[in-house]
Structure 1
């Protein structure tokens, strides 16, 4: 009888989560892209450092010890590895990814590009190694290499709001959910994304970039929550968040400052902040009890309006990125 009751509770909770989430029917199951970059087998066969077992700091040390000519040899022989290996100098990664992408993204600084699955991409505005401040925008559902515009719009708005003094990475570097379905209500894709995000911040540290401020939208805040204790970051900013898979800031186990925003018209407010049997992402980071610093967002509109020109949220995001917010 007790087992039956637990089953009923779990089923009821699942229905509650689904019913509270607009667009349930549009969701479809996704398989996370994980593992080393394309071309890793040929790379390791050539006696080069194993991309999975070598840390970004070790990768950085390896490339630092190479002559410029040898770096170019590796870039041309293994562009898909050099372009996606955290710890490689950014300029080499840009050059390598330009080779693999051809004319696609011409003139843009591509920090990572993975053609597997729906495709992943990371684009950089500014100079990562000379900028005083770095920001990373982590997106939610539906963002991939074929649908990057909503993410780059957020990243561009943030860079403009800082008067181009902050280098900004638009990071579509994990497999996002499609629509709002089972994948968006569970943490599987976020767990895979968290590993990749942590390695990204390790790579930034390894090449001498400043510790970034992370701006995590919607399901991206689940990724940031799961990665929090491993991130080399100075700020975690979540907005339109369904939860971070933590009950409060303390459970994130991070030294970064944690900020949260949710505007009154955001549909995410209709999603129950529950966590049971793998469904739901827990407490609302925008609630005072969570312990995050508040980002004002009363004049933002909807789930995607936090970076709109003139909003309090965008002004505060820019101040956070530049280290001016308290």
Structure 2
């Protein structure tokens, strides 16, 4: 590359970074992605008390995990969930009902630990307050028979909640969120349609409860507007986890078709890098997207339909530069005619997080796609 082209690329990257970081204020709080096997995996692999060798979460596919559990009796399955709740509750391929049971046990145990920390004289008052907050968060997740498909307390925490019955639903959907979402705010009441849980609940109701919907906060999201949001590192880590989730759903549920994946904001970068095939997804829908990390729909699997939701006029994401220069930015605009995605309307929606609001054309379109119509 000549000197002029190098200078032009550096100048362009500076423009991209300035534009991206200027949207909402710079955040230097870089995030470390939570990756690898579930917590407690070493003890899980070493546990042969039932006379069997548990599958290694690092090397075993969800299909192999499903086959392992199919060979166990219900009592053996439950015994493993009791002894290793954080592994069983987060291991894709485990029967869904057993994951709910394991995550209830894991949440109960973590809440007990936090309550003990809240009165530990060796800790500071600030530590006590943080522990009480975490204990209360876990209590809310244990209330009301919530269906928790995944729970990992590491880092900012990861969580997945199911709306509907994955065992009987004819179709399924997964909501993949963007920045600033974690275990503590994935379902905040102040944003009923702008969080993964609110989006999933709204879609579930819009399909007349015929589609089971998963609110999946299963990766480390960026915080604020900063380098994490402008680059793909966290999205690449998330794409691996999303792929494993979809592979697990294919063997642990029996819908008519693989899940439809709804990807909001930075979540659309995760979905683009996942490049799901027809065995994993019936379709992909992006909304409020800064780009998908690809140049066009042609870079994705052509057997998986891709829909791009029109941006409403008040969505700030439209001010993001749709370029990718020296690792900054997420590529072409999925709503552009030349990108190759199928268009969906957004009439009636408002803001960056309003596409799932009842009465909007976007929610009606999402429901139709989720139902396979």
**TM-score bracket for the superposition, by shorter chain length:** over 0.9
Q: Any conservation in 2 of the 1:264–1:298 contact (CA below 8 Å)?
A: no
| Cα separation, 2, equivalents of 1:11 and 1:116 | 38
1:271 aligns with one of 309, 320, 331: 320
The residue number in structure 1 matching 2:369 is 320
- For structure 2, which runs of at least 5 residues remain unmatched after alignment? 48-52, 109-138, 188-194
In the TM superposition, what is the alpha-carbon distance from 1:17 to its structure 2 partner?
3.7
Q: Compute the displacement of 1:207 (Å).
A: 1.1
Q: Computing the radius of gyration over CA atoms, which structure comes out larger, 1 or 2?
A: 2
Is the Cα contact below 8 Å between 1:14 and 1:279 reproduced in 2? no
Is 1:18–1:181's contact at 8 Å kept on the other side of the alignment? no
Render the CA deviation track for 1:27-71: whole Å, top value 9, x for unaligned: 521000000000000011123110010000000000000011111
Aligned to 1:257: 305
Q: In structure 2, what is the Cα distance between the partners aligned to 1:269 and 1:135?
A: 26
User: Corresponding residue for 2:135?
Assistant: none
Q: Structure 1 residue aligned with 2:286, among 211, 219, 238?
A: 238
Q: Tell me which residue corresponds to 1:138.
A: 176
Q: Quote the offset at 1:194 in angstroms.
A: 0.1
Shift of 1:7: 4.2
User: 2: CA distance between counterparts of 1:255 and 1:135?
Assistant: 17
What is the distance in 1 between the residues matched to 2:315 and 2:169? Answer: 33
Distance in 2 between the 1:36 and 1:248 partners? 33
1:120 correspondence with 2:158: yes
* Cα distance between partner residues in 1 of 2:146 and 2:202: 17
Name the CA shift for 1:283/1:195 in 2 (closer, same or farther; >3 Å): same
Moved >3 Å (runs of 4+): 1-5
Shift of 1:130: 0.9
Native 8 Å contact 1:214 1:236 kept in 2: yes
Counting matched residue pairs gives: 324
1:301 aligns with 2:350: yes
Question: Are positions 1:167 and 2:215 aligned together?
Answer: no
| C-alpha RMSD over aligned residues | 1.5
Displacement of 1:104 after TM fit? Answer: 4.3
1:105 matches 2:154: no
Mapped pair 1:222 → 2:269: yes
> For the Cα contact (< 8 Å) 2:20–2:230, is it kept in 1?
no
The answer as to whether partners of 1:229 and 1:254 remain within 8 angstroms in 2 is no
Tell me the residue number matched to 2:15. 15
The partner residue of 1:63 within 40, 57, 69 is: 69
2:9/2:326 contact within 8 Å kept: no
Quote the Cα distance in structure 1 between the aligned partners of 2:19 and 2:230. 11
Structure 1 residue 247, shift from structure 2 partner: 1.3
Moved more, 203-212 or 172-181: 203-212
Distance 1:254 1:69 in 2: 44
- Normalised to the residue count of structure 1, the TM-score between the two structures is 0.96
Partners of 1:18 and 1:160 in 2: how far apart?
40
Pick aligned residue for 2:98 from 92, 104, 107 = 92
Q: CA deviation at 1:14?
A: 2.9
1:31 aligns with 2:32: yes
Whether the aligned pair in 2 keeps the contact of 1:137 and 1:168 (CA below 8 Å) is yes
Decide whether the 8 Å contact of 1:56 with 1:87 is kept in 2. yes
Cα deviation digits, residues 53-95 of structure 1 (max 9, x gap): 0000000000000011111111111111000000000000000
Residues 1:266 and 1:206: Cα distance change in structure 2 (over 3 Å):
same
